Amino acid sequence: MMAEEARTLTIEITRFDPDRDEVPKTQEYEIQVQDDWKVLDAINYIKDEVDPSLSHRWSCRMAVCGSCGMMLNGEPKLTCKTALSDYDSKLKIEPLANFPIVRDLVVDMDGFMEKFRKVKPWIVRAKERAEDMENLSEKGTFSQSPAQLASFKQFSMCINCLLCYAACPVIANEPEFIGPAAIALGHRYNLDTRDEGDGQRNAIFRGEGTVFSCSFANECSEVCPKNVDPAAAVNQAKLGAVVDWAKGLILPRGGA
């Protein structure tokens, strides 16, 4: 097999050292790259061979861990999944938009973690039922049909890479908005037949971090590297809120 031919590529990278810099600046690196490289390979090359002071996050190299999301020429992408051959002459690499920058290409994810925790992305049971726990091996507790699984499986493919947050114009302007990934995962558990926590999650969706902040830009679903559809989750959550509101007006005791 012939070795891939190397070419020169100018890569512009955001640099920020909280101990020295007031604001982020950019630094250019001119390196020899191969077209079978992913963008992450080029960043790792710079880190290993050119400038060891560069900070960035990465882990699995196969679009599973969601660590290496960055802005590539202004678009949020996973660097381990994006081919370097997509960029002819110049590539600009920046940390994820809409997040505070900790250092170079590393962003502060704590704000997301807080929002994520609020939507309780786990199965919530109203109370542990005695019958749930009886004869587990015989009845296969919490059994679920393939159709029931299909109703939420797509949303569960989210890897929390935060590209949707970096793409969302609402997140950039409304800090209270709970955001696409958190809504998608909260909605995923609301749709899960084993779960009984929809009331708690809907209080978040319809309250402080309201889903109605979403202005239907659809950017979250466009940039998702795992083909998850957070915009669909947001809009289904909106629809659910409207249906419950209408039920409250029409039905006795609010349809409860």
Q: Contact residues for another protein (CB under 8 A)?
A: 16, 18, 21, 23-24, 71, 73-76, 92, 94, 97-103, 107-108, 110-112, 114, 145, 147, 150-151, 154-155, 165-167, 169, 171-175, 215-219, 221-222, 227-229, 231-233, 235-236
φ and ψ of 165, to 5 deg: -70, -35
**Of 118, 132, 111, nearest in space to 195 by CA:** 132
- Which residue, 84 or 171, is less far from another protein as judged by CB? 171
- Can you tell me the distance from the alpha carbon of 219 to that of 227, in angstroms, rounded to the nearest whole number? 12
**Of 214, 200, 211, nearest in space to 240 by CA:** 211
- Which residue, 89 or 227, is less far from another protein as judged by CB? 227
Residue 218 identity: N
Q: State the alpha helices, DSSP H only, in the chain.
A: 39-45, 110-118, 130-133, 136-139, 146-150, 163-167, 169-173, 180-191, 198-205, 219-223, 230-250
Q: Identify whether the C-beta of residue 226 lies closer than 8 Å to the C-beta of residue 63.
A: yes
- Which residue, 8 or 145, is less far from another protein as judged by CB? 145
CB of 88 to another protein, least distance (A): 17
CB of 81 to another protein, least distance (A): 18
- Which residue, 48 or 114, is less far from another protein as judged by CB? 114
- Which residue, 41 or 75, is less far from another protein as judged by CB? 75
CB of 86 to another protein, least distance (A): 15
CB of 91 to another protein, least distance (A): 13
